[in-house]
Amino acid sequence: MKQTGTLTRFIPILRWLPRYNKVKLADDMVAAVIVAIMLIPQALAYALVAGMPAETGLYASLFGLTVYCVFGTSNTLSVAPVAVVSLMTAAALAKLELSGVSQYTSAAFALTFLSGAFLLVLGLLRLGFMANFISHPVISAFITASAVIIVISQVRLLLGVEAAGQSVLELVPSLLFAVPETNMITLTLGLASITGILWCKRGLATWLLRRGVSASLAGTLSRAGPVLVAVLAALLAFLFRLDERGVQLLGDVPAGLPDLQLPAFTVEQLRGLLGSAVLIAIIGFVESISVAQVMAAKRRERIDLDQELVGLGAANMVVSAGGGFPVSGGFSRSIVNFEAGAATPAAGAFAAILIAIVALFLTPALFWLPRVCLASIILVAVYPLLDFSMLGKSWRYSKADFVAVALTLLLTLAIGVEIGVATGVLVSILIHLYKESKPHVAVVGRIEGTEHFRSINRHKVETFENQLSIRIDESLYFANTRYLEELVFELVADKPKLEHVVLMCAAVNRIDLSALETLVKINETLSGMGIKLHLSEVKGPIMDRLATTGFFKSLSGNNYLSHNEAVEDLR
């Protein structure tokens, strides 16, 4: 039984597959069709963002969806290429001295493998909780800045010009110099594609409903907007030979499926890619988890963070062997999968089958697809990622958080995605440690006629000259005990008639060894000044731990069950 439990924990498909039925099959098939229609043009487009051949987007989607179906715990998360991770892939590979498509793709496969291996190791070590240490405002700022870079990078395809760069400072001047060479046919086709996709997204369903089309079919057709626009653009390119008028086409896309083989990489490549792989893994995981948890909560389902690491790690490792680039859970696709009624992860596997059919039999039709159409799909897809409101929110709520958000945003835009996200994560951790080093402590007094104690700075309370009541509102550990020690002695110095100091510990959940040593030091110093140290409302588990140390034997004062009891006893 224990072995079976371990298998189902690491291979979640064994839990839900025995209960699979026709109803779930029907729901998953419908969702698969809708997601595949949405994903195919996105996969091609994100491959171009990553600097990869278009077909690798199909391979990444195919293997990512299939493997996650076996190892993932979310019923609706759609694991395939996403905009931000694709941009990070391009930025990581741009640092290496690579010549030719072969070296570039080989390095991308190695990057994907390393990213997946890192996630898998974290999952096996059950370190999913580490996702909680990355500030959501910082991630939001990074995603917004990345979306800006993606938008600017796609403008070159919209104009039909050449421009290069990994940051706004590099891309914008390059684009400005190229503006005079704009291909007006490409620009017109791009603007028309954007308009068409937006209309399909916002107006097509309403238009179809007014003409008697069922709600389900109208919803499916509206989500198929990018495919409809792509088909129409390819048809125009073929009929009017737009390639002869300067319109860039997708070109030859190899038919068939790749052979599975482990990527080959050198020690030098390993050193150059390892840091980037870790960043890609972390960002991809955090983005996936945030989406999966929201959707799971709506259905009252549970997401296992550690198993998600395993699922995403395994997916990326197989994707690297299948000729793809890093994948993670996409927000828009997953929401569509959720709304389409996906009942189990099998919906992703069925979508993968449809993508495999396209890769096997329909790639010749992709030759005539204008690249500007794919750029239009990307522009519409990443627009919702732009969220500058976080700057205003963080400024109003916490200046420290604003610093982390602003630095992440500015450095990502000005220098690049890796420096931006690394700086943001580092600054957010430093700010957290700074805040933790200054625990909230309040001098309290009693509200007259009650047994309630509140801060003397916020309420009208009664206090007594011979005693000082200090409420500690956080756990005590090595990083913040020095602050408490300095504060206690500073407050004591201002009270010449003081006889008792009472530490109110109702909110203290933990006292580590460093904190214990600090309390011993405070007790000894106060004793030398003729002042007794008392504790009140210490929690049971902490009482048990302190009792093993002999602290209470050396305590100059008493340990009171309630703070009011301490005040009455010491008056």
pLDDT 10s digits, 242-252: 999 999 999 99
pLDDT score at 4: 57
In the chain the first and final C-alpha atoms are separated, in Å, by 63
What is the arithmetic mean of pLDDT over 114-132?
90
CA dihedral defined by 404, 408, 410, 413, rounded to 10 degrees?
A: -170
Domains observed in the chain: 2-397 (no CATH), 441-570 (3.30.750.24)
pLDDT score at 431: 84
The pLDDT of residue 461 is above 60: yes
The pLDDT of residue 137 is above 90: no
> How far apart are alpha carbons 557 and 534 in whole angstroms?
5
Report CA-CA distances (Å) from 66 to 154, 283, 509: 30, 21, 44
Mean pLDDT, rounded, of the chain: 92
Instruction: Classify residue 243 by its DSSP letter.
Output: G
pLDDT score at 426: 87
| Dihedrals phi, psi of 44, to nearest 5 degrees | -65, -40
The pLDDT of residue 2 is above 60: no
pLDDT band, residue 10 (cuts 50/70/90): confident
pLDDT top residue among 33 and 269: 33
The pLDDT of residue 3 is above 70: no
Give 529-540 pLDDT, tens digit per residue: 999 999 999 999
Give 64-74 pLDDT, tens digit per residue: 999 999 999 99
pLDDT score at 134: 77
CA dihedral defined by 397, 398, 403, 408, rounded to 10 degrees?
A: -60
The pLDDT of residue 363 is above 80: yes
Percent of the chain residues topping a pLDDT of 90: 72
pLDDT score at 510: 93
Exposed e or buried b per residue across 493-519, where buried means at least 16 C-beta atoms within 10 angstroms of its C-beta:
eeeeebebbbbbbeebeebeeebbebb
Cβ-in-10-Å burial (0-12, 13-18, 19+) of 187 comes to middle
What is the arithmetic mean of pLDDT over 459-484?
93
pLDDT score at 1: 46
What is the arithmetic mean of pLDDT over 21-30?
94
Cβ-in-10-Å burial (0-12, 13-18, 19+) of 71 comes to buried
Concatenating the DSSP letter of every residue in 324-357 gives: ----EE-HHHHHHHHHTT--STHHHHHHHHHHHH
What is the arithmetic mean of pLDDT over 194-199?
94
Q: How many CA atoms are closer than 13 Å to the CA of 455, on its beta-carbon side?
A: 7
The pLDDT of residue 19 is above 90: yes
The pLDDT of residue 432 is above 50: yes
> How far apart are alpha carbons 401 and 393 in whole angstroms?
9
pLDDT score at 164: 81
pLDDT band, residue 7 (cuts 50/70/90): confident
The pLDDT of residue 159 is above 90: yes
pLDDT band, residue 5 (cuts 50/70/90): low
E strands, 415-481, in order: 441-446, 453-455, 467-472
Cβ-in-10-Å burial (0-12, 13-18, 19+) of 105 comes to buried
Report CA-CA distances (Å) from 4 to 1, 7, 9, 11, 12: 5, 5, 9, 10, 11
